[in-house]
Amino acid sequence: MAEEQGRQKDQPSRSTAPSRSKGKEDPALRAWAKSQGLSVNDRGRVPPEIKEAYEKAKHNM
């Protein structure tokens, strides 16, 4: 009965932490956004439209 409660042994555990693979780019992205006059917080999620504009600008350099 103990196995009926909770996760079964053969199921992998899941991480609830978000992926931070692009987090290393955030300071440069935020600095770029601010230099363009865009409003972006120093912490937290960067809006996708700002990320898209940054990627386009980065490829056009």
CATH code of the domain containing 35: 4.10.320
pTM over 0.85: no
Q: Quick check: is 26 in a domain?
A: yes
Q: Quick check: is 10 in a domain?
A: no
Domain that residue 40 falls in:
22-61
Q: Quick check: is 56 in a domain?
A: yes
Q: Quick check: is 3 in a domain?
A: no
Q: What is the pLDDT of residue 4?
A: 54
Given a cut of 60, whether residue 2 has pLDDT beyond it is no
The number of distinct structural domains making up the chain is 1
Q: Quick check: is 45 in a domain?
A: yes
Over residues 4-50, the pLDDT tens digits come to 566 566 666 665 655 555 577 899 999 999 999 999 999 999 999 99
**H or E segment at 56?**
helix 48-59
